[in-house]
Amino acid sequence: MELEMKYAVPDKATCDAIWEDDLIKYYADPSSMEKLVMKAVYFDTEDGKLSANNMAVRVRYEGDTAFATLKWNGSVSNGFHEREEINVPARMEHFIDSPKELFKESEDGKVLLDLIGDEPLVNLLEMRYLRSRCRLSYGASIMELAIDTGSIITDKGEVPIMELEIELYAGDPKDIRDFGQRLQEKYKLAPEDRSKLVRGLTLLRQ
């Protein structure tokens, strides 16, 4: 289960200010603070079976490591995102070829295979962004804070990415809400109910 708070950040200067904020430095593990180039491709069937069933398949490079991710049963309220998720190792070719076979060893992944059958997964859109991230200990919880700046790239144009995510690793969901609210109030951030994928799909469907 993935639990996270997501906020839209108004501009790059605010992204930089949040990353340098003393509140984050106080609670962060200094050794975990890093910046990674992220490259992601999202897939669906030609007729959109995954999105119609509240599912998503992504292949993403995080620095030098690639993962394929299956997400399903997503829900969101006032910037709080909750969804089931599994991750499996991937390779460079899975950015082009259908990655569905990567999930065949997982019971949850078999639900995906049963849904789409022999239909191939096709490239819907891509994302390229810089992620500044660190691990925090706050309240009774361990969480990751990430600030993303970049672009969602589709056949109908691009959408900028400027957002803050706070994901719960272990502990109480109330802690990521509380920490997020402190940053939200200081920087006048808007809760973001739309995932990056939803924002890209909205552009494609215009």
| Mean pLDDT calculated for residue range 39-58 | 92
Residues 184 and 178: their CA atoms lie apart, in Å, by 10
pLDDT at 174: 98
pLDDT at 1: 87
Q: pLDDT digit string (tens) for 91-131?
A: 878 878 778 888 888 888 888 888 888 888 999 999 999 99
Identify which of 61, 62, 69, 67 has the alpha carbon closest to the alpha carbon of residue 43: 69
What CATH number labels 2-204? 2.40.320.10
pLDDT, averaged across the chain? 94
Residues ≥6 apart with Cβ < 8 Å to 135? 28, 29, 32, 142, 143, 144, 169
Parse the chain into domains and list their residue ranges: 2-204
Query: Which pLDDT score is estimated for 74?
Result: 87
67 — pLDDT class (breaks 50, 70, 90): very high
pLDDT of residue 101: 86
Q: Which pLDDT score, from 0 to 100, does residue 96 have?
A: 80
- At 16-37, the pLDDT tens digits run 999 999 999 999 999 999 999 9
> Is the pLDDT confidence value at 5 over 90?
yes
Please list the residues that pair with 7 across neighbouring strands. 164, 191
Q: What is the pLDDT of residues 182-205, one digit of tens each?
A: 999 999 999 999 999 999 999 998
Give me the percent of the chain exceeding a pLDDT of 90: 78
